[in-house]
A and B are shown apart, each in its own frame.
Chain A
Amino acid sequence: MKKSMRLSFKDTRLLLIFSGVITLLVAVMFYIEFETDRPWKGIQRDFVELDETMTEAALAKAKSLPDGSEKDAEIAKLEKRAGLLSAATPTIRQTWLTQFNTADRCMTCHLGIELPRFADSEQPFTTHPGDHIKPNRHGTDAFGCVICHEGQPVGLTVDEAHGHIHHNWMTPLLTGKQSESSCEACHAMSSKIAKDAVMTDAPSFTKGRSLYLGTNCLGCHVADGYKRDAGIGPILTAVATKSDPSWAQTWVKNPKDFLANTVMPDFELADDKIKAITAYLYSLSKPGTAASKARKQLDNNEAIARGEKNLTDLGCLGCHSVDGKDEGFGPDLSRVAEKTTPEWLYAWIEDPTKYWPETNMPKLRVPENEIQDLVAYLSTLQKKTAATEAQALTDPELIAQGKKLTAETGCTGCHNIGDFAIGYNAPPHDGIGQKRVDELVFGDTKIGHNLADWLALKVQNPRAFNTEDIPTLMPNFGLTKEESEDVLTFLLSIRNRNNIPEGFVKSLIDPTATSTIGARIIEESNCLGCHKIGDKGGTVGPDLSFQGERINPQWMTDFLMNPIKIRPEGIEPTRMPTFGFKTEEAEALTAYFADLSKVSYPYYQAEKKNLSAEDMEKAWKIYFQTFSCQSCHAWNTKGGIIGPDQSDLAKRLRAEWVKKYLENPQKFIADVQMPNFEMYPDELEVMTQLIMSFNEIPEAVWDAIKKRWDDELLAKQAAEMGSN
């Protein structure tokens, strides 16, 4: 009995085996339980539950429909779905993206992503917004989710899949606006494309790209595929002829205080450093002497009034404003007299490229007296008189210190100064969209340790990460939070995406297309400040929408390079300024206008028909008598001066257009001072042929014909007077 109570060695072994088996069983049960209840399974169960509720509700609703085949079909559909749902078993949903050689399991949890009925559901079940993942666009079978949204697509927990599990994960999930940064990999938008070119479905990227290029980030940083500009800030080698040194110092101190929308950023420089830089800049040139030519009309109220009127009439307001809002293409002029001298203004208006060869400001080609009027008016535009206290800026030590500071600060990123080359060696932006978090310095900030948060703050407040040991030099561009987020979207797009298969690369805008090049030149020269294209643009100059079918391409190219005034001087002040377009730019614009009008380019040959003597007579009668064209138009300066001289009209206009225009001038230019003569088709035909032959008529022949009709008119007039 006693013996049987005692555990023998054999029994102990049995017990050990037994307990071991129990432990193993428990472990296996736990393991099975764990395996069968992975988080994604729970999510899938939730999804089935949600869909069952929705299907039930839909079924109840369908049953209340009026009887008919529609109702039956709907009920059948819903019942089939309910059946499928009740039979559903948890499965990992994996798509193998053959073209990208990547597995994508995101839809294991994001089950409603393609089903419109989940539009109002919460994540992870909600439907994808927009129609981006429609099969004919970026269908999930080809793109999965990872190609646009990054993350770790084989992960099956939220943290693993979204790539936030470790702050060093190279490609964390991109959501919201940030996912637009992936479009660029296939739909390249190089800097050859106009800044405001729109990638329709990527508004944040588009805006960010425009800000990135517009604030000239490339002046200091380099980025693969983007070209550094020739310098977007004014040349500073002759600044002493333009502004007073005390103005220059207040400007550098806070540029946006003077011009609300200037690109010039705030360098947060101490006063003594600004003084040194100013000393250096002013050591490069000497102030000009007072010139009577520039000051002739100063303080003459009549000239000031004429200048103010001309500012509108010449189209200056197409780019500049004088209301202080500074929302135009060029700087606001409401405080221009604080900044510049009359001598500089005169020289600048006369030929801006003499001071700054790369400027966008065109040459206005206005006579001396008109420049004097403009200078007189502009010299009245100031809010306060600048304090011109004499400062000792000639100290060679100060100048040397200023030169050193100029190079360090990064002024050379945007400005041409002395013998410095344009540019600055700020950290390159190549691959910035995938910069490793351990390469970033977070300083004393409390933001999330990830690239996106770091970049967004860096753009908005560049010195936020400064510590005593690590100062940074990037200036503040005064971007709003939203603007910084858009720039962030753009910056995230600069990442290495070498896994894009060939067939997927598809530029939405072809950088070599005429329309792209034309659109870029039109943006850079701000043509829409004065001209309209479609329903956008100003009304100072002619509508450009139909110039392709109106103007002979050769004439257009010549005109763009060397604009002339078509109407006589003195009739109206408006004239096309000289933008100094190069041949290829002028040709690109001509081609662009031809594109807009859908006419052929570059080949154009007017169809010529020789008129019979009878038709000729008919045409002359219409010209000189019926409609008296000579009362408004001159031929070789003989005749009216309201419309353009017609002697070389054949070189300027296309014949087909002349005919269309004569038929109804107001159709093209609503307020044109040319009547609609209601000509018959045969009249239109002979008139077009006559006008298009004007450049071939000898002067003596013209004079003789004109005299005949003049005599007839005078005789008729005399008879009329007699009868009265």
Chain B
Amino acid sequence: MTNNTITQKVCSVFAALGLTLCLSMPALGEDKVEEKPAEETVPKYEVSIELGRVTYQHYCTPCHGVKGDGNGFNAPHLLVKPANHTDAKFMSERNDTKLFDTINLGGVEVSKSTLMPPWGMALGDERVKSIILHLRELCNCQATKNW
């Protein structure tokens, strides 16, 4: 009787120990991606032309092209040709607010081609503003009109 209770005790101790060890095993670690709050996945950035270049290369060049001339590898598959960011005349007609809205909210919100998606949520204000700095570098121009 006493022996049995001891065995049971020892067994349960072992089971608990085994379970704890198994759970703490890093090789079989659990996925922690989901535990992060959503806002943490968009890290904080500081506005800079360098950040603009990098962000533009990653997110914009598939359509607007590595050189910014609207000839990205995806451009032939689009119904409307993407904007040519090296076109000084075209770009100088758009002020920074307009560019910000276009990138942030997408073409549909500024009565332009709906093929341009809204990037604001994915990129955050800082990266959008950085892209604008790079756009001004690409067209080598400033806005002439204020609309």
Residues of chain A touching chain B, judged by Cβ–Cβ distance below 8 Å, are 98-99, 135-137, 139, 142, 186-187, 194, 196-201, 503-504, 506-509, 515-516, 519, 533-536, 543, 545-546, 570-571, 596-597, 625-628, 631-632, 634, 639-642, 664-668, 670-671, 673-678, 710, 713-714, 717, 720
Contacts and interface: CB of A to CB of B under 8 A. Distances in A.
A676 B121 contact: yes
Interface in B90-120: 106-108, 111-119
A506 to B, nearest CB: 4
B13 A136 contact: yes
Interface of B: 3, 6-7, 10-11, 13-18, 21-22, 24-34, 36, 38, 41-43, 58-59, 62-63, 73-74, 77-80, 106-108, 111-119, 121-122
A534 B31 contact: yes
Nearest to A669: B41
A632 B74 contact: yes
Given A626-B108, A640-B74, A675 B62 contact: no
Contacts of B32: 534-535, 545
B74 to A, nearest CB: 5
Contacts of B63: 631, 642
Nearest to A197: B27
Q: Would you list the 7 A-B pairs with minimal beta carbon distance, nearest first?
A: A545-B31, A676-B121, A631-B115, A506-B14, A534-B29, A675-B117, A676-B122
A503 B28 contact: no
A625 B117 CA distance: 10
Given A504-B14, A626-B114, A664-B38, 12 more contacts: A98-B3, A186-B14, A198-B27, A506-B17, A533-B29, A627-B106, A670-B43, A675-B119, A677-B117, A678-B121, A713-B114, A713-B115
Contacts of A198: 25-27
Contacts of A507: 18
A65 B108 CA distance: 75
Contact of B25 (A200, A504, A710): A200
Contacts of B107: 628
Secondary structure at the A interface, as helix, strand, loop or mixed, is loop
B15 A506 contact: yes
B28 A515 contact: yes
A508 B28 CA distance: 12
B97 to A, nearest CB: 19
A642 B17 contact: no
- A186, A519, A625, A640 interface centre (most CB from chain B within 10 Å): A640
A628 B13 contact: no
A364 B90 CA distance: 45
B25 to A, nearest CB: 6
A506 B21 CA distance: 11
Contacts of B31: 533-534, 545-546, 596-597
19 contacts: A136-B13, A142-B6, A186-B14, A197-B25, A199-B21, A200-B24, A503-B7, A506-B17, A533-B31, A535-B32, A543-B33, A546-B33, A642-B63, A673-B58, A675-B106, A675-B118, A676-B121, A678-B118, A713-B80
B58 A671 contact: yes
A670 B14 CA distance: 42
Contacts of A642: 62-63, 74
A631 B6 CA distance: 70
A667 B38 CA distance: 6
- B28, B73, B78 interface centre (most CB from chain A within 10 Å): B28
